[in-house]
Amino acid sequence: MGEFKHFVIVKFKEGVAVDDLTKGMEKLVSEIHAVKSFEWGQDIESLDVLRQGFTHAFLMTFNKKEDFVAFQSHPNHVEFSTKFSAAIENIVLLDFPSTLVKAPA
C-alpha cells in the first residue's frame, strides 16, 4: 500500500479570519511528526457554479494509515479541530490510500 491522504475541501462561514486558520493549520502540522507533507490552496479559477461555494483545499500526506490515525487522536489536532470546525459552513472530507501513477519530476 502507498501513502495515505487526508483531503479536505471547505467553505468558510462569512466573516471568518481564514488567514488565522491557515496559519494555525501550518503550525499544527509542523508540530505533528506523523504528517509527512501538507499543502493547501484557495480556488481562484473555477466557475462559481462548479465551485459550489467551496473555496479552500487542504491535503495532508502520511506514510501509512497508522500515521493518519495517530494524527487524528493527537491532542493538538483535537484542539485545533474544534476551532476549525466552528469556522466551517460546508465541508467535503476524503481519507484514502493513494495510488501514485506519475511521480513528481
Q: What percent of the chain clears pLDDT 70, i.e. is strictly above it?
A: 99
User: 71 exposed, middle or buried (CB, 10 Å; 0-12, 13-18, 19+)?
Assistant: buried
- Residue 46: pLDDT band with limits 50, 70, 90: confident
Q: For residue 104, which amino acid is it?
A: P
Is residue 52 in a domain?
yes
Q: How confident is the model over 66-79, as pLDDT tens digits? A: 999 999 999 999 99
What's this model's pTM, rounded to 2 decimal places? 0.91
Domain count of the fold of the chain: 1
Is residue 36 in a domain?
yes
- Residue 61: pLDDT band with limits 50, 70, 90: very high
C-alpha cell at 12: 468558510
Q: What are phi and psi of 52, to 5 degrees?
A: 55, 30
Is residue 102 in a domain?
no
Half-sphere exposure of 13 (CA within 13 A, CB side): 10
Quote the domain boundaries for residue 70: 4-8+26-97
Residue pair 93/62 in contact (Cβ under 8 Å)? The answer is no
Is residue 19 in a domain?
no
- Residue 1: pLDDT band with limits 50, 70, 90: low
